[in-house]
């Protein structure tokens, strides 16, 4: 590569003069001046120890400035060596001989310059970035730091940018600084891999690629200082952006450079939004104008900067996202777009961001029109007219059961009493008469019973059931649908406790989430077939942030096509074109935040609410019945044991709540009507008998007998009333990490105990 000038005075190419010696890697070194007035500045790679350097006029340099910047070291001072072509830098254990370059601030003196760092970006991407900012923001110069990959031909970049430069009469100077040494973080893979894309879905399941310091995100942050002291210290203003970053159109207002010249501090903060194409046409590479979408549920910003060096001074270090020791003028904050299809080329958009989160941004559509681009648009969303919640139609519950026989009739009676119209119940592998009772209920038109179709699929039983349910008439014709379990009861606090009263209270809501309140066994160990809602009144406090599951919710949702499928806690597969038509409220009727629309399954301190509805969750019931529950396994997390940790997390007896008792007379009336049928009464009695028999069998097993002794112990009874005192790691580790003295102490309300995370 010629180290000189091409295209008359517009295009210049330079090599980053990285050198190694004495166990040090010097990224660049500059010496300026003559004779005794020679000043030097040297920049050393991350990991350099500042105490390696010493000041000695006799040894070649007097150091008067030394900075440690994010792992790298910058030293400056007076060069005293006799050879003007050599910088002798004294060390604590020797002398480092460097061949310095001469700074060239005159190349960009007085010009408004863009500074960008190329890391695998195609020449066309860099050319488009250059052309856009010259044309739209009056950029007069550009310093392009080209991180050259092994095997890459840097001439291809230079040739393309030379061609672009000829079309830009406003461009006065273009310098390509080629770095052939690795500048990336040594412990990270290549930057364009989806594992490093901030919004990429499924990162936890991705295999981390091999580390690659040539292609990894920038690690040698001193490259910004090198650019400043080597070439940009006398520039009019400097705009720092990635090649995938595009500053908003000025639209008749000041350009970003004009703002920097005007700002009292000389610094303009740039706040960026990550944006994406909806889809690229077959065989076409992404361009600026293809990026028309942003996430509706993300409000974070990416930061860059623009600075006028003559205003801020040259001594404030330049970093990736800010100018150190300089406060940006808040009146001049400027927005830019980070085009992720340019940052991660050749990657499917769905590997970079959940497409269910993408919506079109009008400003980006205008930008595409301005650039003459015709991007692929998102699907048009018809406006779905919705009647008030109270007029939406029938309500259907979808559930899964296995060996729940003794509890079925109460659960159905309760939910019929509050206004549920239809029950779609999937069962599998029942040995207690559950399936026979459900068949009889179906024959009487009370439920729709199906065998769970999970066998022969890769799906868990609950997911297989929900998938099959989407084709059932009781779901497709319903106005409202909820997936919930037989140990969950919708406890409605408004009006007369009915669903009609709840729907009336939420106006035009399309989704209503009822947050769990975990009910414990209340120290009841023996199975009794009396009503669950009457027996168990001890529960968790309403405000209970831990354990993690305490604020799970289930969701009543309208059948409006806003989502693609049913889900365990809420519908799944948001169709993003409908995001602004969803009216999702919590159990107090307050709107849920847009960040919840795609994946939320539990409430938070800002979204929980119980004013209108609670989901009473009787997860453990009594100790004997819990043995049966543990024995049969779970319908969703089938590979997880419902053992001591589960009992500890779910058995809450701190508070008491009897609000659901107002529904007992209505439930007893419904239950009596069901039991008036001799066949249903017989099958119900058979289920109770089978449940008792299974309890006896399990208690006779040594392992289950030991487990029963543990969960009924005085220690566990005491712990069930102390949950608010424990941190999340205690629930991860299990009750055995809690010292006995805590259990027996009279704890203050603010007492808190936790342990380190145990993997």
pLDDT value of residue 177 = 98
Give the burial string for 54-82 (b: 16+ CB within 10 Å, else e): eeeeebbbebeeebebeebbbbbbbbbbe
Tell me what the mean pLDDT of segment 178-187 comes to.
97
pLDDT value of residue 36 = 75
Give the burial string for 394-416 (b: 16+ CB within 10 Å, else e): bbbbbbbbbbbbbbbbbbbbbbb
pLDDT, tens digit, 9 for 90 and up, residues 91-148: 999 999 999 999 999 999 999 999 999 999 999 999 999 999 999 999 999 999 999 9
* Better-scored residue on pLDDT, 121 or 641: 121
pLDDT, tens digit, 9 for 90 and up, residues 565-611: 999 999 999 999 899 999 999 999 999 999 999 999 999 999 999 99
Tell me what the mean pLDDT of segment 228-250 comes to.
98
* Better-scored residue on pLDDT, 367 or 549: 367
pLDDT, tens digit, 9 for 90 and up, residues 716-743: 999 999 999 999 999 999 999 999 999 9
What is the bridge-based pairing of β-strands 553-558 and 480-483?
Answer: antiparallel
Angle CA(309)–CA(314)–CA(315) in degrees, nearest 5? 145
pLDDT, tens digit, 9 for 90 and up, residues 53-77: 999 999 999 999 998 988 899 999 9
Structure tokens at 226: 């090198």
pLDDT, tens digit, 9 for 90 and up, residues 422-462: 999 999 999 999 999 999 999 999 999 999 999 989 899 99
Strand partners, 614: 491
Tell me what the mean pLDDT of segment 398-405 comes to.
97
Percent of the chain with pLDDT over 90: 89
Evaluate whether 485 touches 619 at the Cβ level (below 8 Å): no
Which residue has 């070439």 as its token pair? 231
pLDDT value of residue 245 = 98
* Better-scored residue on pLDDT, 693 or 386: 693
| Residues 273, 288: Cα–Cα separation, whole Å | 14
pLDDT exceeds cutoff 70 at 637: no
pLDDT, tens digit, 9 for 90 and up, residues 475-524: 999 999 999 999 999 999 999 999 999 999 999 999 999 999 999 999 99
Identify the band that residue 640 occupies on the pLDDT scale cut at 50, 70 and 90. low
The DSSP annotation for 360-425 comes to E-HHHHHHHHHTT--PPPPPP--------GGGS--EEEEEEESS-GGGHHHHHHHHHHHT--EEEE
pLDDT exceeds cutoff 70 at 9: no
Evaluate whether 89 touches 42 at the Cβ level (below 8 Å): yes
Tell me what the mean pLDDT of segment 204-214 comes to.
93
């Amino acid at each position: 590569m010629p180290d000189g000038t091409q295209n008359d005075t517009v295009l210049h190419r330079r090599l980053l003069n990285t050198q190694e010696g004495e166990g040090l890697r010097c990224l660049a070194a500059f010496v300026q001046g003559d004779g005794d007035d020679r000043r030097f500045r040297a920049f050393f790679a991350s990991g350099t120890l500042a105490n390696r350097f010493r000041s000695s006029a006799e040894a070649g340099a007097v150091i008067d400035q030394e900075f440690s910047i994010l792992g790298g070291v910058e030293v400056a001072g007076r060069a005293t060596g006799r050879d003007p072509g050599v910088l002798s830098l004294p060390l604590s254990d020797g002398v480092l001989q460097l061949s310095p370059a001469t700074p060239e601030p005159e190349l960009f003196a007085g010009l408004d310059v863009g500074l960008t760092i190329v890391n695998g970006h195609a020449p066309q991407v860099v050319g488009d970035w250059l052309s856009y900012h010259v044309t739209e923001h009056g950029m007069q110069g550009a310093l392009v730091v080209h991180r050259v990959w092994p095997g890459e031909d840097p001439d291809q970049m230079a040739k393309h940018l030379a061609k672009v430069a000829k079309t830009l009469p406003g461009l006065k100077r273009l310098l390509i600084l080629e770095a052939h040494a690795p500048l990336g973080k040594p412990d990270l893979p290549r930057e364009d891999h989806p594992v490093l894309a901030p919004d990429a879905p499924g990162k936890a399941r991705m295999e981390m690629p091999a580390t690659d310091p040539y292609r990894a995100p920038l690690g040698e942050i001193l490259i910004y200082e090198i650019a400043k002291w080597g070439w940009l210290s006398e520039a009019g203003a400097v705009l720092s952006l990635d090649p995938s970053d595009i500053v908003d159109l000025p639209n008749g207002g000041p350009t970003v450079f004009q703002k920097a010249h005007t700002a009292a501090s000389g610094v303009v903060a740039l706040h960026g939004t990550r944006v994406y194409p909806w889809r690229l046409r077959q065989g076409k590479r992404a361009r600026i104008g293809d990026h028309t979408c942003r996430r509706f549920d993300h409000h974070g910003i990416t930061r860059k900067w623009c600075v006028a060096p003559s205003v801020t001074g040259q001594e404030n270090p330049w970093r990736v996202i800010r100018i150190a020791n300089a406060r940006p003028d808040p009146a001049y904050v400027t927005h830019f777009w980070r085009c992720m299809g340019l940052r991660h080329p050749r990657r499917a958009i769905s590997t970079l961001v959940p497409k269910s989160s993408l919506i079109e941004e009008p400003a980006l559509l205008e930008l595409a029109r301005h650039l003459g681009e015709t991007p692929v648009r998102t699907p048009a969303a018809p406006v779905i007219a919705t009647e008030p919640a109270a007029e939406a139609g029938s309500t259907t519950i979808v559930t899964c059961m296995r060996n729940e026989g003794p509890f079925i009739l109460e659960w159905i009676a309760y939910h019929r009493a509050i206004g549920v119209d239809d029950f779609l119940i999937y069962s599998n592998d029942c040995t207690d008469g559950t399936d026979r009772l459900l068949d009889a209920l179906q024959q009487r038109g009370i439920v729709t019973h199906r065998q769970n179709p999970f066998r022969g699929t890769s799906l868990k039983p609950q997911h297989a059931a929900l998938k099959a349910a989407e084709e059932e008439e009781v779901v497709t014709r319903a106005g409202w649908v909820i997936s919930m379990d037989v140990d969950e009861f919708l406890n409605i606090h408004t009006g007369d406790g009915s669903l009609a009263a709840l729907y009336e209270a939420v106006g035009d809501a399309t989704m209503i989430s009822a947050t769990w309140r975990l009910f414990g066994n209340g120290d009841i160990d023996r199975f009794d077939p009396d009503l669950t809602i009457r027996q168990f009144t001890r529960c968790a406090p309403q405000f209970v942030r831990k354990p993690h599951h305490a604020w799970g919710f289930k969701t009543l949702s309208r059948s409006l096509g806003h989502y693609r499928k049913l889900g365990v806690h809420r519908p799944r597969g948001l169709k993003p074109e409908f995001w602004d038509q969803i009216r999702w409220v919590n159990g107090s009727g307050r709107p849920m935040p847009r960040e919840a629309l795609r994946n939320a399954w539990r409430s938070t301190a800002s979204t929980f609410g119980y004013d209108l509805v609670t989901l009473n969750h009787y997860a453990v019931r009594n100790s004997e019945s819990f043995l049966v529950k543990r024995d049969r396994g779970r319908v969703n997390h089938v590979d997880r044991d419902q053992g001591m940790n589960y009992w500890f997390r779910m058995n809450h007896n701190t508070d008491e709540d009897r609000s659901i008792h107002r529904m007992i007379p209505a439930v007893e009336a419904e239950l009596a009507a069901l039991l008036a049928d001799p066949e249903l009464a017989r099958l119900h009695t058979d289920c109770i008998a089978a449940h008792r028999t299974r309890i006896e069998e399990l208690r006779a097993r040594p392992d289950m007998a030991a487990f029963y002794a543990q969960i009924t112990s005085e220690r566990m009874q005491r712990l069930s009333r102390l949950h608010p005192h424990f941190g999340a790691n205690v629930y991860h580790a299990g009750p055995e990490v809690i010292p006995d003295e805590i259990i027996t102490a009279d704890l203050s309300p603010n007492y808190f105990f936790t342990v380190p995370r145990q993997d």
